[in-house]
Chain A
Amino acid sequence: MNTPNISISGIVAGLLLLAPVVLVVWSLKLGFNKKLLLAVGRMLVQLGFVAVYLIYIFKLDNPFINIVYVFMMVFFAALSGIKNSSMRLRSFLWSTVLAMLLPTLFTLIYFNLFITQLSNIFKANIFIPIAGMMLGNILKSNIVALKTFFSQVQTQEKVYQYLLAMGASRREALQPFFKEAVQTAMAPTIATMATAGLVSLPGVMTGQIIGGSDPSLAVRYQIMVMVIIFFTGLASILLQLFFAIRQCFDKHDQFDKSMLEK
């Protein structure tokens, strides 16, 4: 590994780029400077912490700690996704955690067992970054899926009732909304996959190349990462919607609007 160092003065130089940004936002009255600075501050603190504890986690490399760490990542991913959503989704925190955790763990183990074929499948320096990679994507797509699904169910209640009257089971009558939700949520992932390498060099690859890896290995990792992101994303969305359907319909097969009011 021969990654060029970034010194403190380098960091400062980089952060200086934010000065004109703040200036422009202020002078054009775009009104998000407070949000922006808060986000920068959070990023610095959070990533600073990550740097510190990842050093220890990698040193310890204890399977139990690694799994707990992934669990916490999932929890915070779910929490932030739900808090930042414009829809009230608080009732879905735990189902979201579960919908993200199960596919993530499965894919991680599969990745390390059959793709990288590691002897220690919980090896921290693969297990944790790959988990983070997947969660970053799932987070967005799960919330999009939930929001699309609920907005469809609410705006198209009459369609749903009409289909029930035509003999549909709850699941059959929800099919059009289910399809719309999955398609909307998965569209960006498919688009990213289709344009990978054309428009941009994706993250994993860039990281590895900067880190001094052979480009062909970097590409192989990138391809694998895209596939597992797709797999985990879809599995997670399906679970998420499956839980939501179980949670939100009353004995008359009607949508329980109070679920979105808590």
Chain B
Amino acid sequence: MIRFKNVSLTLGNKQLLDHFNLTISDGEKVVISAPSGAGKSSLLKLLLGFFEAEKGKITFNGLEVKPENMRQIRCQIGYLSQGIDFPNGKVEDVFNEIFQYTVNKNISFSRDILLEKVRELKLSDDILKTNTVNISGGERQRLGWILLMLLDRPILLLDEPTSALDDEMKRYFVDYIKQTDKTVICSSHDSEWQTAPMRIIKNLRS
């Protein structure tokens, strides 16, 4: 369960959240479609502990979001950032590196597993040898999803996760989210996300 209790957040001189309250139970799918600049991305980054709210409390399965708990919280989260910010390098190497992190070591990962996913999402095999700076937005987003699926974390934070995909792919991922038992917070304007069983939040200010 994720709970925001009276959370206020100001970035620069803009107040994004003002005594914000939200409770998300396990397995629930929340879609935030507030207007651009309303603080959707910041809300997700708050959960990742990249900065602190000036007021209020956020708890994550009973664990308070604060620096000393961050590592433990982050490794329960699967995150898709808006730009899917892969480091420079061949796709294959980038994936290998991430699966060598201490917290990811025991996740089963191999080139074959990766290749299977790549084909499933209609990417060409060559992409594994391509440098991350040379892939298109749509490819990048699909690779981000692959990483998300392979890391298999219980809570997903998705920031505009289908913005660069065609309608068919959009539906594919929305369907994946619908059938999963993971807890999901997704920020998106795409209409595909505005369906049951998603819980839609249109405004972060109330």
Binding site for B on A (CB under 8 A): 156, 158-159, 161-169, 172, 175-176, 251-254
Residues of B within 8 A of A169 (CB): 71, 101-102
- Return A216 CB to nearest CB of chain B, in Å: 45
Q: Report yes or no: A167 in contact with B75, Cβ–Cβ below 8 A.
A: yes
Would you give the shortest CB distance from A166 to chain B, in whole angstroms?
5
The residue of chain B having its C-beta at the shortest distance from the C-beta of A175 within the complex is B97
**Set of chain A residues within 8 Å of B104, measured between Cβ atoms:** 166-167
| A-binding segment of B10-18, B28-36, B82-90, B122-130 | B82-90
Q: Using CB atoms, name the residue of chain A closest to B147.
A: A166
Q: A176-B88, A254-B50 are in contact. List 6 more A-B contacts (CB 8 A).
A: A158-B85, A161-B50, A167-B101, A168-B98, A175-B97, A253-B70
B51 contacts A176, C-beta separation under 8 Å? no
Interface residue B58 (Cβ < 8 Å from any Cβ of A): no
B1 in contact (CB, < 8 A)? no
Which A residues touch B182, using CB under 8 A?
A: none
Contact of A162 among B75, B85, B151 (CB under 8 A): B85
Partner of A164, one of B74, B86, B102: B74
Query: Residue B139 at the A interface, CB < 8 A?
Result: no
Cα(A168)–Cα(B100), bound, Å = 9
List 15 A–B pairs whose Cβ atoms lie within 8 Å, in order of A's numbering.
Answer: A158-B83, A161-B45, A161-B81, A161-B85, A162-B81, A162-B84, A164-B74, A165-B77, A167-B75, A167-B101, A167-B151, A168-B101, A172-B101, A172-B102, A253-B49
Is the Cβ of A162 less than 8 Å from the Cβ of B50? no
Identify which of A164, A175, A176, A251 contacts B48 (C-beta below 8 A): A164
Tell me which residues across on chain A come within 8 A of B147, comparing CB atoms.
166
Chain A residue at minimal CB-CB distance from B97? A175
Closest Cβ–Cβ distance, residue B50 to chain A (whole Å): 6
Q: Given the complex, which residues of B lie within 8 Å of A167, measured CB to CB?
A: 74-75, 98, 101, 103-104, 151
Chain B minimum-CB-distance residue to A177:
B87
- In the bound assembly, the distance between CA atoms of A118 and B9 in angstroms comes to 65
Q: Within the complex, which residue of A164, A166, A252 is in contact with B151, where a contact is CB–CB below 8 Å?
A: A166
> How many contacting A-B pairs (Cβ < 8 A)?
65
Q: Inside 8 A of A254's CB, which chain B residues have their CB?
A: 50-51
B79 interface contact, C-beta 8 A: yes
> B160 within 8 Å of A by Cβ?
no
Closest chain A residue to B84, Cβ basis: A162
B67 within 8 A of A: yes
Least CB distance, B164 to chain A, in whole angstroms = 16
Given the complex of chains A and B, what is the CA–CA distance between A157 and B32 in angstroms?
25
A contact residues around B101 at 8 Å (CB): 166-169, 172
Cβ B50 vs Cβ A252 within 8 A? yes
- Complexed CA–CA distance, A254 and B104 (Å): 21
Which residues of A sit under 8 angstroms from B81, Cβ to Cβ?
A: 158, 161-162, 165
- B85: chain A residues within 8 A (beta carbon): 156, 158-159, 161-162
Q: Is the CB of A176 within 8 A of B89?
A: yes
Contact of B87 among A156, A165, A251, A253 (CB under 8 A): A156
A151 smallest CB distance to B (angstroms): 14
CA distance in complex: A169, B75 (Å): 10
Q: Please, which residue of chain A has its CB at the minimum distance from the CB of B77?
A: A165
On chain B, the residues within 8 Å of A161 by CB distance are: 45, 48, 50, 81, 85
In the complex, the answer to whether B83 meets A252 with C-beta atoms within 8 Å is no
By a CB distance below 8 angstroms, the chain A residues around B45 are 161
Q: What CA separation (Å) do A251 and B71 show in the bound complex?
A: 11
Chain B residues with CB under 8 A of A159: 85-87
A225-B168 Cα distance, complex, nearest whole Å: 63
Q: Give the docked Cα–Cα distance between A164 and B67 (Å).
A: 13
- In the bound complex, what is the Cα–Cα distance between A168 and B52 (angstroms)? 19
For window 41-83 of B, CB contacts with A under 8 Å fall at 45, 48-52, 67, 70-71, 74-75, 77, 79, 81, 83
Residues of B within 8 A of A172 (CB): 101-102
A114 CB to nearest chain B CB (Å): 37
Q: Is the CB of B50 within 8 A of A176?
A: no
Given contacts A251-B67, A252-B70, contact A165 B89 (CB under 8 A): no
Contacts of A164 in B (CB 8 A): 48, 50, 74
